[in-house]
Amino acid sequence: MLLLLPSYTPTSLRHNKSVLIALHAVGGRAKPEEEEEEAEEEEDASGSQDQDALRVWHGSGACKWFNVRMGFGFLSMTTRDGTPLDEPVDVFVHQSKLHMEGFRSLKEGEAVEFTFQKSSKGLESLRVSGPSGAPCAGSDRRPKGAQKRRSRGDRCYNCGEPDHHAKECQLPPQPKKCHFCQSFAHMVASCPLKAQQARAGPQGAGGPQSGALDQEEPLGQEPDTQDYD
C-alpha cells in the first residue's frame, strides 16, 4: 500500500529511507530481515526438540505406584544424570521395561535406577533395574486371574511341566506329544489312557490302580456299564 503524505511526492519517497520504514509499519508487514530472524528461531526451537526426543537420560528414585493387573505405573525420579532435583518428577514405566525374571512388577517405594526419554506423552522409561543394575525386587501381589490359573495346576504345553505357561518356558520348542500321558506316539485327543479313565468314571480319576477297586461291586447289584464320555 502506498501512502502519500502532504509534504512528499512519489519521486521523493523513493529516496527517503525513513519514510519507507514508516510505510512498512503502517502496512503491517515485517521487514525481510525480521522474517529471516523469526524463521531461524523456529528452526532452532524445532531442532532442540528433536535432540531432546533422541537424548537418553539416566535417573534414579523409587516406584511411586504400579498396577500389577494392568502392568504399568509411574516412577518418582529424584536425581537426573546424577544431579538431585528440587522436586520429584514422574516417569512412566511399563512392565516390559523391567529388568527381572518371572512375573514383572514393582513394589511401591522400591528403589530403582532407570534410563528414559522424552516423548509426546511425557517422560517414558526405557530400562528399569534395582540399585547398581540389580534385578528389580518386584511386588508380592499377583493379579487374581493369575492366582486362579496357578491354583488349577496348568502345565506348559511345550515341556509338560507345571507352574508355568508355554510363553514362559525356558526350553526350545519341543516335539509334539500327548499332554495327558506324555507319550510321543499320539496326541491327547486320541490318548487311550485318558479314554480308559473317562470310561471308569470318577473312581478312575486317581489313575490305573483304581481299576482294582472298580472290579468290586456290592452284592445284589448289576455292574454299571454306562460310559462317561
DSSP string, 158-200: TT--BSS-GGG--SPPPPP--TTT--SSS-GGG-HHHHHHHHH
**C-alpha grid cell, residue 2:** 502506498
Residue 190 has pLDDT above 60, yes or no: yes
Grid cell 536425581 — which residue?
A: 79
CB 229 within 8 A of CB 197: no
CB 160 within 8 A of CB 179: yes
**CA–CA distance, 71 with 81 (Å, rounded to integer):** 26
Q: Which of 203, 196, 188 is nearest to 229 (CA)?
A: 196
Please give the angle made by the CA atoms of 70, 72 and 74, to the nearest 5 degrees.
145
Q: Residue 169: its pLDDT value, please?
A: 79
Q: Residue 32: its pLDDT value, please?
A: 61
**CA–CA distance, 67 with 216 (Å, rounded to integer):** 55
pLDDT in tens, 35-92: 667 766 666 655 556 666 679 999 999 999 999 999 999 999 999 999 999 999 999 9
Residue 221 has pLDDT above 70, yes or no: no
Q: Residue 106: its pLDDT value, please?
A: 96
Looking at per-residue pLDDT, the higher value among 146 and 220 belongs to 146
Residue 93 has pLDDT above 80, yes or no: yes
Q: Residue 138: its pLDDT value, please?
A: 93
